[in-house]
Amino acid sequence: MAHDPEATTLYGYLAEFDTPGQLLKAANRVREAGYTKTDAYSPFPIHGMEDALGFRERAVAPIVLAGGLTGLMVGYGLEYWTMVIAYPMNVGGRPYHAWVNFIPPAFETTILFSAFAAVFGMFALNGLPRPHHPVFGAKRFALASSEKFFLAIEATDPKFDAKTTRELLAGLSSREVVELED
Amino acid sequence: MHESQFPPGDFRAPLPTIAPGHSFRSINDKLTSIVLTKNTPLVWFIVTGIAFMFLMGLTVAIAYLLAKGIGIWGNNIPVGWAFDIINFVWWIGIGHAGTLISAILLLFKQDWRTSINRFSEAMTLFAVLCAALFPLIHTGRPWLAIYWLFPYPNAMTLWPNFRSPLIWDVFAVTTYGTVSLLFWSTGLIPDMAAFRDKTANPFLKKLFGVLSLGWRGSARHWARYEKAYLLLAGISTPLVLSVHTVVSFDFAVSVLPGWHATIFPPYFVAGAIYAGFAMVLTLAIPIRVMFGVQDFITMRHIENCAKVMLVTGLVVVYGYMSELFFGWYSANEYEHFMLKNRTWFGPYAWTYWLLLLCNFLVPQLLWSKRLRRTIPVVFIVCMFINVGMWLERFVIIVTSLHRDFVPSSWEMYYPTKWDFLTLFGTIGLFTTLMFLFVRLLPMIAIFEMHSLLPQSRSKPAGEEATS
């Protein structure tokens, strides 16, 4: 892809930290300064990071519940339709609608659909798979999956200012602050 | 990670789940190097080679089976279920430890699960694969069996009978396999990103980049990821208990003495966990030495698994005792005959006593703390349990079937060489897949190991630990 250096736009700033504690503290400070379009990157989940970023989303659990209920209805519906409507079969005079016997398969489909909802719902909310993202442009970002911790402030943030934002990040005991190109 | 209530050095304090002195970097380096190195241990080639030979034996056994039919096996009437179902139940039981470790121990916040969960989830997947092979091939002509195993609109407008436990089994096992696969591959995503960032090889970088789905460790992603993972654990917990319950219904719902028992579901589930932990240790003990991961799979893990085996083993023995009691208490002549035949004068009574030796007597060694911490002893006990759990299913299936209600339908069962080739072939399939997995994918969850380190606990007040 032809890349014109003039045409690149600033995606934001990325600050690097050595420890999860520094990252958490920096994220808290950045939120207190009024930034909202921020994100933290770490090799493992850090306890308390959601609050530090002001991230309050409770979407995964309802998706899983919806998946589970769908699975229950699909499973039970399949059993009812096949055993009572499509292919009623008299086995020793047992009822066609043998709801007790329908529980195990309906239970299994409930679990199956909720598991799919949990995994695929989580990836959809996360916008994954996504082959590229501006943070991958930073040279040292490869360390975000092993030992370093990063905090990004995006240029689209209403409070973003090329100079003051950079100074804020640089003042937060970060190792270095780099520009990210979109 | 919770702190022990006992100070370090106290004899009651638990052993560490990770050897001291590790940093984020050393964990990452060690666990990625196992996969990214070009040096494979020689013993890996030897074991994989032998296992692959058995796998080739399995393909021969299946090809011959499909050509000739199930007459090549020793199955007869009345012993219509034999090695095929014994092996199925044995393998599916072994598969239970993975989900128990990854889901139930997660809900109970047992942090020692972390270094063995990935490994045992893979074991679950491969064991379920081996198990699923048997119901498929025991039909003889699997391509004709699909319409009564799976509900799909077919040209005959026939549907499976949902009032039968056999179709519940299809649903339970396929759901279990699928959910285990989802659980395992979701856990792998952040580690694939770690590999992508670590490798210098451009092809591998692309490959792991694709497999990681572009994971970048964003805090928002982690938040949703952890929530989804916790929910998966929550729904897998009843699932894992349901699978062997449903398998036991295959037997308990019938009217055959020796099968028709209400103790079956809990007794089968305990047996599954028992067999599963024995197999986890059977694999973990050699592999931790082969790849030098004794820092991560420590004596703590071995000891805890041994304790789980001791407890579930006693639950299984309780199952044996209650089978005896209810057989006697039923005051039913067929139940009485079945018990005496099984334990005393029957031609297969020796398998029952061998089973008690393997599953009851030998594991009692694990009461001793010193023996629990002696690796060769634990390994040998695990081998006894592996054999014992197979024998348990042999006793349940063959001794209950071979003496039918009327003596005119009594018959002995003798396995053929094809039965044995199929059984050992699936062990080859399982071992091959397991060894390929430990060589090609991270056998220990890297990001979860990071979370075990004390320096991962952030202190926003400013008292940071250093990495």
The complex scores an ipTM of 0.90
**Spatial separation of the C-alpha atoms in residues A77 and A88, rounded to whole Å:** 14
Count, residues in chain A: 182
Q: Do A104 and B246 touch (CB under 8 A)?
A: yes
* b/e map B144-159, b = 16+ CB within 10 Å: eeeebbebeeeeeeeb
Residue B461 has a pLDDT of 42
Residue B1 has a pLDDT of 43
Tokens standing for residue A181: 């190109």
Residues on chain B touching A29 (C-beta within 8 angstroms) = none
| DSSP secondary structure, B270-321, as one string | HHHHHHHHHHHHHHHHHHHHHTT-TTTS-HHHHHHHHHHHHHHHHHHHHHHH
Tokens standing for residue B42: 């020689």
**Spatial separation of the C-alpha atoms in residues B283 and A7, rounded to whole Å:** 56
CA B328 to chain centroid: 33
Confidence band (pLDDT; 50, 70, 90) for B90?
very high
Average pLDDT of chain B, as a whole number: 88
> What region, left, alpha or beta, does residue A161 occupy, with left being phi > 0 and alpha being psi -120 to 50 degrees?
beta
Confidence band (pLDDT; 50, 70, 90) for B465?
very low
Handedness of CA A22, A28, A33, A39 (dihedral sign): positive
Of B193, B213, B225, which has the smallest distance from its Cβ to A145's Cβ?
A: B193
Q: What is the pTM of this model?
A: 0.91
Query: Is B397 within 8 Å of B264 (Cβ atoms)?
Result: no
Handedness of CA B80, B84, B86, B92 (dihedral sign): negative
Query: Is B416 within 8 Å of B74 (Cβ atoms)?
Result: yes
Cβ of residue B408 closer than 8 Å to a chain A Cβ:
no
**Spatial separation of the C-alpha atoms in residues B106 and B354, rounded to whole Å:** 36
Residue B466 has a pLDDT of 42
Q: Do B24 and A122 touch (CB under 8 A)?
A: no
Tokens standing for residue B102: 């990854």
Q: Which residue of A has its CA nearest to B249?
A: A104
Residue numbers of A between 81 and 100 with CB closer than 8 Å to B: 82-83, 86-87, 89, 91, 94, 98
Mind telling me how many Å the CA of A145 is from chain B's nearest CA? 5
Cβ of residue A51 closer than 8 Å to a chain B Cβ:
no
| pLDDT tens digits, one per residue of B316-356 | 999 999 999 998 999 999 999 999 999 989 999 999 999 99
> Which ranges constitute the DSSP H helices of B341-416?
349-356, 369-372, 375-394, 400-402
Does residue B178 have a pLDDT over 70?
yes
B79, B327, B344, B421 from B341: Cα distances, Å: 15, 12, 6, 29
A78-87, A102-111, B101-110, B207-216: least confidently modelled range: B101-110
Query: Is B90 within 8 Å of B395 (Cβ atoms)?
Result: no
Tokens standing for residue B149: 């195993």
**Spatial separation of the C-alpha atoms in residues B282 and B380, rounded to whole Å:** 9
Best mean pLDDT range from A23-27, A178-182, B13-17: A23-27
Report the half-sphere exposure of B96 (CA within 13 A, side-chain side).
29
| pLDDT tens digits, one per residue of B12-61 | 777 777 888 888 888 888 888 888 888 888 999 999 999 999 999 999 99
Q: Do A79 and B162 touch (CB under 8 A)?
A: yes
User: Residues with Cβ < 8 Å from A177, sequence gap 6 or more?
Assistant: A13, A14, A15, A16, A166, A169, A170
Q: Which residue of A has its CA nearest to B447?
A: A44
Report the half-sphere exposure of A151 (CA within 13 A, side-chain side).
36
Q: Do A147 and B175 touch (CB under 8 A)?
A: no
Say how many CB pairs under 8 Å bridge A and B.
228
**Spatial separation of the C-alpha atoms in residues B47 and B38, rounded to whole Å:** 18
Residues on chain B touching A47 (C-beta within 8 angstroms) = 457-458
Q: Do B219 and A126 touch (CB under 8 A)?
A: no
The arrangement of strands across the sheet holding A149-154 comes to A38-41, A149-154, A10-17, A176-181
**Spatial separation of the C-alpha atoms in residues B329 and B200, rounded to whole Å:** 69
